[in-house]
Amino acid sequence: MTVLVGVAKEAAAGERRVALTPDVVGRLGSVGAQLAVEAGAGAGAGFPDADYEKAGATVLGPGQAFERADVVACVGLPDPARLRAGSTVVGLLQPLLRPQLMEELAARGVTAVSLDGLPRTLPRAQAMDALSSQASAAGYKAVLVATEHFGRYFPLLITAAGTSKPAEVLVLGAGVAGLQAIGTARRLGAVVRAYDVRPAAKGEVQSLGAHFVELSSVGPAAGEGGYARALTAEEQAAQQAELEGHIARHDIVITTAQVPGRRPPELVTAAAVAAMRPGSVLVDMGASDLGGNVAGSVPAEAVVTANGVTIVGAGDLPSRLATSASAAYARNLTALLGHLLADGALHIDLGDEITAGVVVTHGGTVVHPATAAALTHPQPTEAP
């Protein structure tokens, strides 16, 4: 028996990534899966149909992935109406941010599997950690995007034509994306400082040769599972006020702060932006329809403020590094499928820690406890 895994072109506007790439076709075959991609699905990430065919995948016409596949592999959630009863959808579905859509999938008889819920600290889950692979791509690209909008060199340059001071970069949020941004900015020769609410981040920042910024007004805010907890309104206001002076002293500010299941916390207020020097650049990795880390950021756009500061709304950075991000994502997804498939069929054993973390809907119900809880107690995810 073989499971047919289908890939359609991603639904979100501007999304260039593809869920599975030609180089995982062999590995999928070894775990009992056959890949079928809709024509052009990989084109945005640099994977033409011919490469899929050469690797042994089938190329389908428009819409056929949804009609034929047992498992639809995606990056972001496709239109639930396109998913067949009895099929499975696997991707980064953000179930905590849209529990109603998960309920709709359950009602349609679709099994939804989301890589967001992976227990990432389990060593055997690390090959499946798509949040980390995509955050890493985003952190790297954030720095390159900043260089495009910044009118000066990043490194210290001493030349016959004069001396150029190194750029001063501040990274707010030092998780996977933030650490990758720190490393990338350091490699370009910038002076880098970083801040995070989790005390564990300090040593990681320093080990990359960056300075850790301590705030006296906000205590440690580590939450569950290695993530940050949401700050109270008072803590957030104190944080914003104390960060303002630090932000004004930097040329480049890259924000990566996230709290699972919540809209991104606002770290940079309009007043902080107004206090920055002309020519400074903010890259807001949290920018989405739900808001972002920076007041005034617009998703997928670069806005120049009245005081000459560029704010880049950069919630789409993995898509801007589509080839590498897709290649890593495809390997993560293939590792997960290898875990869920046995004897050419999908086996959902909710007694297994990895499976219980990722399976959101199954057998007509929302089986993922955190998503079920979000249905009864919605989080404040609306933009302020």
The set of catalytic residues is 120, 126, 129, 132, 227
**Within a 10 A sphere around the Cβ of 323, how many other Cβ atoms?**
17
Rounded CA Rg of the chain: 22
Q: Which is nearer to ligand NAD, 21 or 256 (CB)?
A: 256
Can you say how many angstroms the Cα of residue 49 is from the centroid of all Cα atoms in its chain?
Answer: 26
CA distances from 140 to 45, 263, 303, 322 (A): 17, 22, 21, 13
Closest approach of Cβ 12 to ligand NAD, in Å? 19
**Within a 10 A sphere around the Cβ of 363, how many other Cβ atoms?**
11
Task: Assign 372 to helix, strand or coil.
Answer: helix
Q: Which residue is nearest to ligand NAD (CB)?
A: 175
Q: Which is nearer to ligand NAD, 105 or 231 (CB)?
A: 231
Phi, psi of 219, deg, nearest 5: -80, 180
Token pair listed for 350: 């909710």
Closest approach of Cβ 264 to ligand NAD, in Å? 8
Q: Which is nearer to ligand NAD, 190 or 201 (CB)?
A: 201
Closest approach of Cβ 213 to ligand NAD, in Å? 10
Residue for token pair 């056959």 = 34
Closest approach of Cβ 97 to ligand NAD, in Å? 13
Q: Which is nearer to ligand NAD, 78 or 178 (CB)?
A: 178
Q: Which is nearer to ligand NAD, 112 or 131 (CB)?
A: 131
DSSP secondary structure letter of residue 188 = T
User: Sign of torsion, CA 322 323 329 334?
Assistant: positive
Q: Which is nearer to ligand NAD, 132 or 326 (CB)?
A: 132
DSSP secondary structure letter of residue 166 = P
Closest approach of Cβ 88 to ligand NAD, in Å? 25
DSSP secondary structure letter of residue 126 = G
In whole angstroms, give the CA distance from residue 117 to residue 135.
15
Can you say how many angstroms the Cα of residue 338 is from the centroid of all Cα atoms in its chain?
Answer: 22
Task: Assign 30 to helix, strand or coil.
Answer: helix
Q: Which residues pair with 366 in a beta bridge?
A: 361
Cβ within 8 Å of residue 351, ≥6 positions away? none
Residue 364 burial class via C-beta count within 10 angstroms: exposed 0-12, middle 13-18, buried 19 and up: middle
Binding site for ligand NAD (CB under 6 A): 120-121, 126, 129, 131-132, 135, 172-178, 196-198, 201, 226-228, 231, 256-260, 265, 267
Cβ within 8 Å of residue 120, ≥6 positions away? 126, 129, 131, 132, 225, 226
Closest approach of Cβ 198 to ligand NAD, in Å? 4
Q: Which is nearer to ligand NAD, 166 or 175 (CB)?
A: 175
Closest approach of Cβ 84 to ligand NAD, in Å? 32
Token pair listed for 199: 């005390």
